[in-house]
């Protein structure tokens, strides 16, 4: 809710069009569904939206309070989600690049002349850009104000150089045919820019191009494309309306401002929300098909979980931790890789064992002292286990998850 409201009010401040801001905020939140979860990234999304707002308002007004906000945000990010600290500065780069190009081209700070130019791209010099560069350089030091220094500066490099990038789905390159939402959003930009006389700011073009490149490199960055791209799209559509029907937006704004219309809109949104929520009212908090709720209860009631060595799969390791069961691996992949934890190769061993890509599975189990295993009913590893029933006792099976007790283990590490 806070993310949606932040996008909406930022849009209103940037283009002063409540109807357009409302519609595109709904669209942005719809596209953000896969990325909205109870993780550190959610407050980070809100902070990134505020970063764009503060940058735009600082360049427009030169007020110090926006500069203060721009410094506070990276301090917060470096303490709650240090992994994305460098992405904060990516949001500055289009504005900085436009200013530097204007300086090199000796462009003057005259908006009127810019609007009269016949070019599709608006290249406008804002002399406050030099102060934005100063703010960005000062903010680089925000990574020092955290107990996990130097993680804000080194995490992304270590991640990119590490062995987890090619195995985690959200870090893989985007497959465009599997992302219809991304295709539709991109088509909106292309249609407006190709088939209308609407102009785009150079900094917006830089931002759009950079975010598309990031998204193709890693599908996770689609969230950044949505968060920053929605403001560019709002600005383009608003400029198109002002060019082709300057009175249309004002008439629609006045119509929507009528109390009857507002009541109807509130009722429609409320009914839609109820309709979406009603089928989920009886759903359990934890999806039993995705997480081993019954198996975890069985282990807690029948095993001394503090004195066993459990092998589990990646996707539900966090749930086992939530239930107080020590795990082999969980979704914090960095903890289990040598680039962040020297001489620890748990992530690599998990990939090889779960995919049956090694011939010495028993040796790896012995190395880690594995005494029990939990896995999905259809896990590939079961083919290996079924070949040695004398070594693995099936002690739990609920049709979704299965737990084995290993009868031969040694060499605890």
| Structural domain containing residue 390 | 293-406
Query: What pLDDT shows up at residue 410?
Result: 46
pTM: 0.86
Same domain, 226 and 317: no
Residues 150 and 298 in one domain: no
Enclosing H/E stretch for 372:
strand 372-376
Q: In what order do the strands lie in the sheet with 310-311?
A: 310-311, 372-376, 401-406, 392-397
Nearest to 342 by CA among 176, 191, 178, 162: 162
CA distance 150 to 2: 30
Residues 169 and 26 occupy one common structural domain:
yes
Question: CA of 235: how far to CAs of 57, 209, 260, in Å?
Answer: 15, 16, 28
The number of CA neighbours under 13 Å toward the Cβ of 372 is 23
**Domain limit, last residue, from 222, 244, 266:** 244
Separation CA 325–CA 319 (nearest Å): 9
Give the model's pLDDT for residue 242: 85
* Contact partners, residue 18, CB within 8 Å, separation at least 6: 12, 253, 256
- Same domain membership, residue 178 and residue 61: yes
Same domain, 220 and 146: yes
Number of domains observed in the structure of the chain: 2
Per-residue model confidence as pLDDT tens for the chain (413 residues): 999 999 999 999 999 888 899 999 999 999 999 898 888 899 999 999 999 999 999 999 999 999 999 999 999 999 999 989 999 999 999 999 999 999 998 776 655 555 566 678 888 889 899 999 999 999 999 999 999 899 999 998 888 888 787 777 777 888 887 888 899 999 999 999 999 989 999 999 999 999 999 999 888 899 999 999 999 999 999 999 888 887 877 777 777 778 888 888 889 989 988 988 888 888 888 888 899 999 999 999 999 999 999 999 999 999 999 999 999 999 988 889 998 889 999 999 999 999 999 889 999 999 999 999 999 999 999 999 998 888 999 999 999 999 999 986 544 44
Contacts of 59 (CB under 8 A, 6+ apart): 95, 126, 128, 129, 132
Within-domain flag for 211: yes
Whether residues 215 and 132 share a domain: the answer is yes
253 in any annotated domain: no
Q: Coil, helix or strand for 307?
A: helix
> Would you say 230 and 237 are in contact if contact means Cβ atoms under 8 Å apart?
no
The reply to whether 10 and 123 lie within a common domain is: yes
């Amino acid at each position: 809710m806070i993310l949606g409201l932040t996008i909406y009010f930022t849009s209103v401040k940037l283009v002063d069009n409540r109807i357009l801001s409302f519609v595109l905020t709904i669209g942005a939140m719809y596209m953000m569904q896969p990325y909205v979860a109870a993780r550190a990234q959610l407050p980070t999304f809100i902070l990134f939206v505020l970063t764009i707002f503060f940058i735009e308002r600082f360049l427009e007004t030169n007020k110090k309070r926006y500069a203060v906000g721009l410094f506070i945000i990276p301090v917060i990010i470096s303490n709650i989600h240090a992994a994305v600290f460098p992405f904060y500065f990516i949001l500055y780069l289009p504005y900085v690049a436009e200013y530097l190009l204007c300086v090199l081209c000796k462009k003057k700070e005259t908006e009127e002349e810019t609007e009269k130019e016949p070019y599709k791209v608006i290249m406008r010099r804002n002399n406050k850009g030099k102060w934005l560069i100063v703010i960005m350089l000062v903010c680089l030091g925000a990574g020092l104000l955290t107990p996990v220094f130097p993680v804000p500066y080194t995490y992304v490099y270590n991640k990119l150089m590490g062995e987890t990038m090619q195995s985690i789905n959200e870090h893989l390159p985007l497959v465009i045919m599997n992302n219809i939402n991304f295709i539709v959003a991109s088509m909106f930009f292309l249609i407006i820019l190709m088939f209308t006389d609407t102009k785009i700011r150079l900094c917006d073009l830089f931002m759009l191009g950079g975010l598309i490149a990031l998204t193709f490199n890693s599908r996770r960055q689609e969230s950044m494309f949505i968060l920053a791209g929605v403001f560019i799209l709002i600005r383009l559509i608003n400029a198109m309306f002002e060019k082709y029907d300057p009175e249309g937006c004002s008439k629609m704004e006045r119509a929507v401002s009528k109390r009857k219309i507002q009541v109807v809109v509130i009722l429609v949104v409320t009914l839609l929300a109820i309709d979406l929520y009603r089928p989920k009212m009886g759903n359990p908090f934890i999806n039993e098909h995705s997480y081993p709720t019954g198996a975890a209860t069985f282990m807690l009631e029948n095993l001394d979980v503090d004195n066993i060595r459990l092998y589990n799969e990646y996707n539900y390791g966090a749930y086992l931790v939530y239930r107080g069961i020590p795990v082999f691996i969980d979704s914090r992949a960095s903890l289990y890789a040598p680039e962040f934890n020297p001489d620890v190769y748990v992530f690599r061993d998990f990939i090889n064992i779960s995919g049956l890509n090694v011939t010495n599975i028993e040796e790896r189990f012995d190395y880690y002292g594995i005494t029990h295993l939990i896995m999905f009913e259809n896990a590939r590893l079961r083919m290996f286990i079924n070949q040695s029933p004398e070594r693995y006792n099936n002690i739990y099976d609920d049709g979704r998850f299965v737990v084995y007790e290993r009868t031969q283990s040694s060499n605890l590490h």
